[in-house]
Amino acid sequence: MLKKKGLFISTLCCFFTLTTFHSFSQAPKKLKTIIVDAGHGGQDGGASGQYENSLRSKEKDVTLAISKKLVAELKKQLPELTIVPTRTTDIYQNPNEKARIANEHKGDLFLCIHADSGPLKTGRRQIGTRTVTRYKVTYTGKGKKKKKKSTPYQVTEPVYEHFKIPLTINGTSVYIFAAHKTSAKLSAIMKEVGEFEIETGDADSSYSPVDFTTPEGRTIAQIYAKRYQEKSDRLATLVNDEVDKTGRNALGVNQRQVGIAVLQATNMPAILVETGYINNPEDERYLNSEKGQQELAEVITKAVKRYKEQLETANKPN
Ligand SMILES: [Zn+2]
């Protein structure tokens, strides 16, 4: 879930992408390694099914199940790539651990798997009636002789129960991290001075380090920040398109401005897929089903394949 716990997740993902940045070159990069992050885990359960008669499923379990199938599908369809899950069991990972995993594996793409939720309204309905005794009070006499008389009588009143109303919204949304304010992103890139290399333009592809303290270096950092944003947007659009093809509600590509300011520091192509609404009955069943999990894994894999093809076509010399 991104909405209510947006800041936390975003901080997590952001920290992840912020610290996983590694050397890049000016030449369009080939897709080699994909990091798949199953959102939440361990003590951090994420959102959960809470409406009446829900499966009471937890986001951390759903994201892990989908991520496992996604990793398997990516490996099957793109055997030349290295696919790295951040977790394969129900463990809690703090951002440092996720960052360490990503750094070690030098990811070229970061796929965050989550499930959405929203505030639930409470409903009330009548489940029966009960008989209660009430008293009619009358008075006789006046002044000091005034007397109170209570006469019992029976009434029937309704008995209500309260319940959580399930969400009516369902579907899959994709989030990318707003980059029009690139200051955080730039500072993240520029922290890595000496780690980055840029192609000198020679045929032998020799590289020289970029000095981000120079105006030229700053311009280069800005170009890369924008390029990552464009790539994230392209992949997110492909995921949304593939979701749409399944007949499932494709809720589009979103940029969250509020609550995820730190995500602007993302400096590798990254998307966050809100696979479905855990508090919508149809979606909760879908997210917990083998069929639903597999379909989501295949949808994201198809999008990654198209993304990879586009990247390779763009790389081809004329
Ligand atoms: Zn989440």
Cα–Cα distance for residue pair 257/246, rounded to 1 Å: 29
Tokens (6 digits) for 246: 């399944």
Q: Could you tell me the distance, in angstroms and rounded to a whole number, from the CA of residue 112 to the centre of ligand 1?
A: 9
Contact 70, 36 (CB under 8 A): yes
Task: Name the pLDDT band for 202 (thresholds 50, 70, 90).
Answer: very low
How close is the Cα of 116 to the center of ligand 1, in Å?
7
**Mean pLDDT of all residues in the chain?**
80
pTM: 0.77
How many whole angstroms separate alpha carbon 306 and alpha carbon 284? 28
Output the CA 67–ligand 1 centroid distance in Å: 13
Topology (CATH level 3) of domain 6-117+167-315: Aminopeptidase (3.40.630)
Distance CA 124, CA 134 (A): 25
Centre of ligand 1 to C-alpha 111, Å, is 13
Tokens for 7? 């800041």
| Cα 273 to averaged position of ligand 1 atoms, centre (Å) | 9
Tell me the pairing of strands 172-176 and 270-277: antiparallel
Centre of ligand 1 from the C-alpha of residue 144, in Å: 72
Beta bridge partners of 155: 132
Give the model confidence (pLDDT) of 257-274 as tens digits.
543 333 343 456 888 899
List for the chain the helix, strand, coil content (%; round to 5): 40, 25, 35
CA 31 / ligand 1 centre spacing (Å): 26
Question: 115 C-alpha to center of ligand 1: Å?
Answer: 5
pLDDT tens readout for residues 58-114: 999 999 999 999 999 999 999 999 999 999 999 998 766 766 677 678 788 889 899
* Percentage of the chain exceeding pLDDT 90: 54
Measure 260 CA to ligand 1 centroid, in angstroms. Answer: 13
Domain segments of the chain as ranges: 6-117+167-315, 123-162
- Report, as an integer, the average pLDDT of 136-148: 88
Q: How far is ligand 1, taken at its centre, from the CA of residue 171, in Å?
A: 15
The alpha carbon of 57 and the centre of ligand 1 are apart by a number of angstroms equal to 13
